Amino acid sequence: MTTAERFEERLRSYLRESSEEARAVRVGEKEVSEHAAIVARFSDLFTREQHAELGEAEAVAEADERERLLRLREACAGGIASLELADAYDELQNAVLAERIDFRGESLPLRSAQAKVAVLAVYGEREELGTLAADASARFNDRRLDLMRRGEALDAELSGEVDPVRRSADLKQVDLFELAETLTEAAERQQDAFEALSERWVARLLGDERDAEPASFHVAYIRRMSPLADLYTKERAVPVCLETLGRLGFDLAGESRIRLDLDDRPQKNPRACVIASDPPELVHLITRAQGGLHDYQAFLHEAGHALHYAGCDPALPYTFRRLARDHALTEIYSFLVESVSREPGWHAEHFTLRADEAEERAESTRFLEVLLFRRYAAKLGFELELWSDFEHAPDYAPVYAERLREATGFRYRPDGYLADLDDGFYSADYLRAWIRTAQVRAHLRQRVGADWWERAETGEFLRGLFREGTRPSSEEIAARVGYDPLDTGPLLDELVLAQ
Ligand SMILES: [Zn+2]
């Protein structure tokens, strides 16, 4: 057994254990994270010697083996960072978990408060609780920044690349500035359509008490489509989603490799997620339904990830079942499955609506989609500015607020700039998936038909891709469906011309 093989095998045990720990904390089964203790037990994996050895093997390897070694080396670097920052990270996470907010005589954990903002019916109450939660979250900014600085210094050292933008671009194998430019153009071309949609839907969803420029807290509320929530009940979310997946030929409930956690616990993070502890055998799908269309969309989104991980070929090397250069591939599958909820036919069928009502519901989801797309395109622009001059990070807090305000029409707080920042340019991965999923849908509409969203052929097509695990890049998928990776034509067709 080579060093790399031994490393891969032990990495698998480590990732399984640490994923299970992260899951327990995230779902509120445990109040204190003991991640640091797990990393310490596997500390032999995450050393600079090991990192160098993997790098040396990579330098003389070819093709798939080289790619595999690169991903193992990246995982090793990630582990070294975890090991060195685990205590500080745990401390911050535990402090956030312990943080409470007093709201109208009630003491709420910060996480519950953030979840509650999305479901409060009264505009003024959302303003009040949103402000309290944002104040509380911003109090952790110094610690967030300190952790980021330490992480950045380590990444620079291990990769030998001091420029964080170039480092991410090399890893993702895309030009991030070119991507951002393409997206800015796309956002400009949909400007008028977005304004028309926004005028209609913001008024309808937020009502007459709204400010000319509402605070960003209301975006969470809008995402849930709360005023229309009566139709999309909490109780029906799971059965409707299982039925939706069934049409595509996926039996999620009968799939023993995917563990569903649908319980409601006070400390459970309201954000749905998938934790692929050991794919394809052990994959968790976690959601916390609160009522509203968002539950359905979040469930379908995570189901796309879960089916991808649980659907990979078990004969693939572990690396190509679990490790990726980034998240751009798996987000294609989640975005695609989620997008079924933007089909008028889906609303008509599952919620017994007339055609015009279903059209209207579908339009509301399209509004959300454009809003989120624009938010992420703006986030990427901000992140490129921030990371190009990371030394002066706090100077970019106003840039964050201004870029997001301009793109979405909502008022963002400058001091939210760190809490809203995802690691490693995740925003770029989402945006590549946005472009790609529209390309895949265009392909499916042509190959399977306009009803691709309820045809088993779509499931067959996806199953073929799932088998390849995490090996392909997002850009390779573009080639499979016959598009240039940066072709935003299909995306604009859906989001603009659909007007
Ligand atoms: Zn996702």
Q: What is the pLDDT of residues 215-241, one digit of tens each?
A: 999 998 888 777 777 889 889 999 999
Cβ 382 vs Cβ 400: under 8 Å: yes
Predicted confidence (pLDDT) per residue in 141-162, tens digit: 999 999 999 999 999 999 999 9
Instruction: Give distance in angstroms: CA of 332 to centre of ligand 1.
Output: 8
Instruction: Give distance in angstroms: CA of 12 to centre of ligand 1.
Output: 22
- Per the listing, tokens 């502890």 go with 277
- Please say if the pLDDT value at position 437 is more than 80: yes
Under DSSP, the state recorded for 215 is B
Beta strands in 72-168 (DSSP E): 100-103, 106-109
Instruction: Give distance in angstroms: CA of 80 to centre of ligand 1.
Output: 25
The whole-number pLDDT of residue 90 equals: 81
Amino acid identity, position 467: R
**pLDDT level of residue 455 (50, 70, 90 thresholds):** very high
- Please say if the pLDDT value at position 496 is more than 80: no
Mean pLDDT value across residues 281-296: 90
Beta-bridged to residue 411, according to DSSP, are 215
Of residues 360, 354, 368, 355, the one with CA closest to residue 296: 368
Instruction: Give distance in angstroms: CA of 351 to centre of ligand 1.
Output: 25
Predicted confidence (pLDDT) per residue in 248-281, tens digit: 999 999 999 999 998 888 777 778 899 999 999 9
Instruction: Give distance in angstroms: CA of 286 to centre of ligand 1.
Output: 12
Instruction: Give distance in angstroms: CA of 442 to centre of ligand 1.
Output: 21
Q: What is the spatial distance between Cα 488 and Cα 496, in angstroms, rounded to a whole number?
A: 11
Which alpha helices (DSSP H) does 389-473 contain, by range? 397-408, 426-447, 456-467
Element spanning 128, H or E: helix 123-138
Least confident stretch, 31-40, 117-126, 386-395? 31-40
Q: Is the peptide bond before 227 cis (omega within 30 degrees of 0)?
A: no
Tell me the two tokens of residue 131.
Answer: 């402000």
Q: What is the spatial distance between Cα 111 and Cα 116, in angstroms, rounded to a whole number?
A: 9
Share of the chain above pLDDT 70, in %: 99
**pLDDT level of residue 39 (50, 70, 90 thresholds):** confident
- Please say if the pLDDT value at position 314 is more than 90: yes
Instruction: Give distance in angstroms: CA of 310 to centre of ligand 1.
Output: 15
Whole-structure pTM value = 0.93
Least confident stretch, 117-121, 165-169, 385-389, 441-445? 117-121
**What is 176-497's CATH topology?**
Neurolysin; domain 3 (1.10.1370)
Instruction: Give distance in angstroms: CA of 423 to centre of ligand 1.
Output: 14
The whole-number pLDDT of residue 223 equals: 84
- Strands 258-261, 100-103: pairing kind: unpaired
The whole-number pLDDT of residue 248 equals: 98
Mean pLDDT value across residues 328-341: 98
Mean pLDDT value across residues 385-398: 97
Mean pLDDT value across residues 430-446: 98
Instruction: Give distance in angstroms: CA of 305 to centre of ligand 1.
Output: 7
The whole-number pLDDT of residue 220 equals: 85
Q: What is the spatial distance between Cα 433 and Cα 333, in angstroms, rounded to a whole number?
A: 8
The whole-number pLDDT of residue 497 equals: 55
Instruction: Give distance in angstroms: CA of 301 to centre of ligand 1.
Output: 6
**pLDDT level of residue 108 (50, 70, 90 thresholds):** very high
The whole-number pLDDT of residue 430 equals: 97
Angle formed by the axes of helices 355-388 and 176-189, to 10°? 140
Sign of CA dihedral 47, 77, 88, 152: positive
Instruction: Give distance in angstroms: CA of 287 to centre of ligand 1.
Output: 13
Amino acid identity, position 417: Y
Of residues 471, 200, 461, the one with CA closest to residue 323: 471
Tell me whether residue 174 is exposed, middle or buried, using C-beta atoms within 10 angstroms of its C-beta: 0 to 12, 13 to 18, 19 or more: buried
Instruction: Give distance in angstroms: CA of 435 to centre of ligand 1.
Output: 15
Beta-bridged to residue 273, according to DSSP, are 286
Instruction: Give distance in angstroms: CA of 470 to centre of ligand 1.
Output: 14
Share of the chain above pLDDT 90, in %: 80
Instruction: Give distance in angstroms: CA of 329 to centre of ligand 1.
Output: 10
Q: What is the spatial distance between Cα 12 and Cα 33, in angstroms, rounded to a whole number?
A: 20
Mean pLDDT value across residues 452-458: 98
Instruction: Give distance in angstroms: CA of 275 to centre of ligand 1.
Output: 11
Tell me whether residue 450 is exposed, middle or buried, using C-beta atoms within 10 angstroms of its C-beta: 0 to 12, 13 to 18, 19 or more: exposed
Beta strands in 198-300 (DSSP E): 258-261, 273-278, 282-286
Average pLDDT of the chain is 93
**pLDDT level of residue 3 (50, 70, 90 thresholds):** confident
The whole-number pLDDT of residue 33 equals: 80
Instruction: Give distance in angstroms: CA of 120 to centre of ligand 1.
Output: 25
Instruction: Give distance in angstroms: CA of 432 to centre of ligand 1.
Output: 12
Instruction: Give distance in angstroms: CA of 334 to centre of ligand 1.
Output: 6
Instruction: Give distance in angstroms: CA of 467 to centre of ligand 1.
Output: 18
Instruction: Give distance in angstroms: CA of 394 to centre of ligand 1.
Output: 28
The whole-number pLDDT of residue 269 equals: 74
Instruction: Give distance in angstroms: CA of 302 to centre of ligand 1.
Output: 6
Q: What φ, ψ does residue 217 adopt, rounded to 5°?
A: -55, -30
